[in-house]
A = this chain, B = another copy of it.
């Protein structure tokens, strides 16, 4: 057979298999798969370099289906590559199957979960950084984009960063099938408009008929030859192409064909096939290294001095960079506030400025961790809200990323509420498998930064803008999941739990209450998730069930709720015998501008308010 005939046969198989799996499942996206089948057939047959026996081989290309709903096509590709069996492919969308409705990295060939649109290209930028600037390996990143998702702003963050960093290892393939979920896209088949936009963002563009196999072949060859710019191939396609009854017709998004239609479609497509492609394997190679692993020498701060935990983050990240060549720094154009700049200046080759594009900031971290790096991404804590969907999806990607948010809470002062993170603890706690850390002093912050490197999942560090007293020695240890009982005696009447800046208010309250003859236990809950249930339960037992939590955060979802979690039960573990009587002090009015102390007082989370809450519990 000619190359063209081989591509055609393979493409028809991919279409047939996309129909078979979705009709078997009675749901899914056959038509969005069929539009891109020719594009994938040529890619698999001639361009993808991938050893399906060794999915983690360092020189493998990366194939990312940003249009995750076209998962049936991806699974058909895996079957055609001999990676999964026809039988497994047909378990699409069944409970317990790896062949989920949208791709997830439960399958070793899937790098990241997709299905929330507009994420594949931003993540590919992270992979592009790794390939071009860190690994220095010739693998290519192939990204399959839907046309509907081109309206996601996140894609344009990826276009601008991809263009700026000249990520010529990225080829984005736009399956321009004209039809979105409920009708025509904004641009329809206006391929020139997509191409003009991409070019304006610094990309090389190629416009083709996405069902013309020779044009596809030429486009891949041209894209692969680029050395200065990433490439967008704008491929004009038809949704449902290959089955005339539904091709290019509205109303067929996300619908499996009923069995009789499926039969007609498969007949029109030439019937089932069982082609196995001998996918080109990549050449052997190993990633470049960036120094030797060395002993970690964390910064040390003198007890009694004052340092902002954000600057301890910067110091510790730089120290971590010296010890570990796999640590990579990212920041959203505020590195002189988050202090990521210490790392950036020390290790410019391992630092990638993400400018003010927080979705891209997180996506780059996700892409980098696919390649085994330990990305630390920082911005103001408030602005991680911009990237919450990326963080949510990163958890589904089983990604290991480290996020550091500075400028938390009203204690930032004059800048006002737009710059104050007051919902970040709630947001980050509600991410599957996440770790949420909130140091109260610089030595603690430094230790926690070191622990973040190998902590799996989404790890979030909340830092404080203001300088706070150093209360711990540099050699103390602060394990994730632990806490610190900072003040205690047998006479303690109330437990007060603070974290970060409010711990210092709790300590002031301790002194005042002590002078009035009231003893309180003060706990530093630096590990918000997991929370130290054992210590909290013991403290509540010891203080007659009386507990005050105090946090620079809205009432909902933060420290107070985390503390209460320590007392509830599950089917297999009973709730605590002694339930706490809790007063939760948290921000409950919209703050304005002012000095940190004024705002802490007005928010009701100052030492004076703690004293008053303690007394209220003792009445």
A interface residues (Cβ-Cβ under 8 A, vs B): 25, 27-28, 68, 92-97, 99-102, 104, 106, 113-118, 148-149, 151-157, 160, 164, 180-182, 185-186, 193, 196-197, 199-201, 333-337, 341, 355-360, 382-383, 385-386, 388-389, 392-393, 395-396, 414-419, 422-423, 426-427, 429-433, 529, 545, 554-558, 560-562, 564-565, 567-572, 574-576, 579-585, 590, 592-595, 598-599, 602, 604, 609, 612-613, 616-617, 619
Q: Which of B104, B115, B116, B433 contacts A592 (CB 8 A)?
A: B104
Q: Could you tell me if B118 and A418 are in contact, using CB atoms closer than 8 angstroms? A: no
Q: Identify the closest chain B residue to A604 (Cβ).
A: B571
Give the distance in Å from the alpha carbon of A89 to the alpha carbon of B433 in the complex.
Answer: 48
Once A104-B592, A430-B426 are accepted as A-B contacts, the answer to whether A584 and B570 lie under 8 Å apart by CB is yes
A592 / chain B contacts, CB cutoff of 8 Å: 95-97, 100, 104, 106
A113 / chain B contacts, CB cutoff of 8 Å: 417-418
Q: Could you tell me if A356 and B149 are in contact, using CB atoms closer than 8 angstroms? A: yes
Q: Could you tell me if B151 and A357 are in contact, using CB atoms closer than 8 angstroms? A: yes
Task: Output the least CB separation between A114 and chain B (Å).
Answer: 7
Once A415-B115, A616-B571 are accepted as A-B contacts, the answer to whether A160 and B182 lie under 8 Å apart by CB is no
Q: Could you tell me if B151 and A101 are in contact, using CB atoms closer than 8 angstroms? A: no
Q: Could you tell me if B356 and A152 are in contact, using CB atoms closer than 8 angstroms? A: yes
A149 / chain B contacts, CB cutoff of 8 Å: 356
Q: Could you tell me if B116 and A418 are in contact, using CB atoms closer than 8 angstroms? A: yes
Q: Which of B104, B153, B602 contacts A154 (CB 8 A)?
A: B153
Give the distance in Å from the alpha carbon of A180 to the alpha carbon of B335 in the complex.
Answer: 11
Q: Could you tell me if A382 and B392 are in contact, using CB atoms closer than 8 angstroms? A: yes
Q: Could you tell me if A148 and B590 are in contact, using CB atoms closer than 8 angstroms? A: no
Q: Which of B429, B554, B599 contacts A432 (CB 8 A)?
A: B554
Given contacts A396-B417, A426-B556, could you give 13 more A-B pairs where the C-beta distance is less than 8 Å?
Answer: A95-B593, A97-B592, A100-B593, A117-B356, A148-B356, A151-B357, A153-B359, A423-B431, A426-B426, A433-B590, A557-B557, A561-B564, A567-B582
Q: Could you tell me if B116 and A613 are in contact, using CB atoms closer than 8 angstroms? A: no
Report which residue of A358, A395, A574 has the largest number of chain B beta carbons within 10 angstroms of its beta carbon: A358
Q: Identify the closest chain B residue to A185 (Cβ).
A: B355
Q: Could you tell me if A116 and B593 are in contact, using CB atoms closer than 8 angstroms? A: no
Report which residue of A335, A430, A576 has the largest number of chain B beta carbons within 10 angstroms of its beta carbon: A430
Give the distance in Å from the alpha carbon of A414 to the alpha carbon of B72 in the complex.
Answer: 13
Give the distance in Å from the alpha carbon of A415 to the alpha carbon of B414 in the complex.
Answer: 46
Give the distance in Å from the alpha carbon of A570 to the alpha carbon of B117 in the complex.
Answer: 43
Q: Could you tell me if B389 and A383 are in contact, using CB atoms closer than 8 angstroms? A: yes
A429 / chain B contacts, CB cutoff of 8 Å: 426, 556-557
Give the distance in Å from the alpha carbon of A25 to the alpha carbon of B594 in the complex.
Answer: 10
Q: Which of B426, B568, B576 contacts A584 (CB 8 A)?
A: B568
Give the distance in Å from the alpha carbon of A155 to the alpha carbon of B565 in the complex.
Answer: 40
Once A386-B389, A613-B571 are accepted as A-B contacts, the answer to whether A419 and B115 lie under 8 Å apart by CB is yes
Q: Could you tell me if B151 and A355 are in contact, using CB atoms closer than 8 angstroms? A: yes
A96 / chain B contacts, CB cutoff of 8 Å: 592, 594
A396 / chain B contacts, CB cutoff of 8 Å: 417-418, 590
Q: Could you tell me if B356 and A594 are in contact, using CB atoms closer than 8 angstroms? A: no
Give the distance in Å from the alpha carbon of A106 to the alpha carbon of B560 in the complex.
Answer: 30
A558 / chain B contacts, CB cutoff of 8 Å: 430
29 contacts between A and B (CB under 8 A): A93-B416, A94-B594, A95-B592, A100-B593, A102-B419, A118-B356, A148-B355, A148-B356, A149-B356, A153-B154, A153-B155, A153-B357, A182-B334, A358-B389, A385-B389, A388-B388, A392-B423, A393-B418, A426-B427, A427-B427, A427-B430, A430-B558, A556-B565, A570-B613, A571-B609, A571-B612, A571-B613, A572-B616, A574-B619
Give the distance in Å from the alpha carbon of A155 to the alpha carbon of B151 in the complex.
Answer: 11
A419 / chain B contacts, CB cutoff of 8 Å: 101-102, 115-116
Task: Output the least CB separation between A561 and chain B (Å).
Answer: 5
CB-based closest 4 A-B pairs: A153-B153, A115-B418, A95-B594, A426-B430
Give the distance in Å from the alpha carbon of A102 to the alpha carbon of B385 in the complex.
Answer: 18
A416 / chain B contacts, CB cutoff of 8 Å: 93, 100-102, 104, 115
Q: Could you tell me if B569 and A575 are in contact, using CB atoms closer than 8 angstroms? A: no
Q: Identify the closest chain B residue to A92 (Cβ).
A: B593
Q: Could you tell me if B182 and A336 are in contact, using CB atoms closer than 8 angstroms? A: yes
Q: Identify the closest chain B residue to A426 (Cβ).
A: B430
A151 / chain B contacts, CB cutoff of 8 Å: 157, 160, 333, 355-357
Q: Could you tell me if A341 and B595 are in contact, using CB atoms closer than 8 angstroms? A: no
Q: Could you tell me if B95 and A599 are in contact, using CB atoms closer than 8 angstroms? A: yes
Task: Output the least CB separation between A460 and chain B (Å).
Answer: 13
Q: Which of B97, B117, B574, B581 contacts A579 (CB 8 A)?
A: B581
Q: Could you tell me if A355 and B180 are in contact, using CB atoms closer than 8 angstroms? A: yes
A117 / chain B contacts, CB cutoff of 8 Å: 356
Once A386-B388, A432-B554, A585-B571 are accepted as A-B contacts, the answer to whether A415 and B602 lie under 8 Å apart by CB is no
Give the distance in Å from the alpha carbon of A148 to the alpha carbon of B529 in the complex.
Answer: 34
Q: Could you tell me if A333 and B153 are in contact, using CB atoms closer than 8 angstroms? A: no
A571 / chain B contacts, CB cutoff of 8 Å: 583, 585, 604, 609, 612-613, 616
A427 / chain B contacts, CB cutoff of 8 Å: 388, 423, 426-427, 430
Q: Which of B574, B583, B593 contacts A569 (CB 8 A)?
A: B583
Q: Could you tell me if B181 and A333 are in contact, using CB atoms closer than 8 angstroms? A: yes
Once A181-B337, A417-B396 are accepted as A-B contacts, the answer to whether A430 and B200 lie under 8 Å apart by CB is no
Task: Output the least CB separation between A103 and chain B (Å).
Answer: 9
Q: Identify the closest chain B residue to A202 (Cβ).
A: B193
Once A153-B359, A426-B427 are accepted as A-B contacts, the answer to whether A568 and B582 lie under 8 Å apart by CB is yes
Q: Identify the closest chain B residue to A355 (Cβ).
A: B151
A555 / chain B contacts, CB cutoff of 8 Å: 565
Q: Could you tell me if B432 and A590 are in contact, using CB atoms closer than 8 angstroms? A: yes
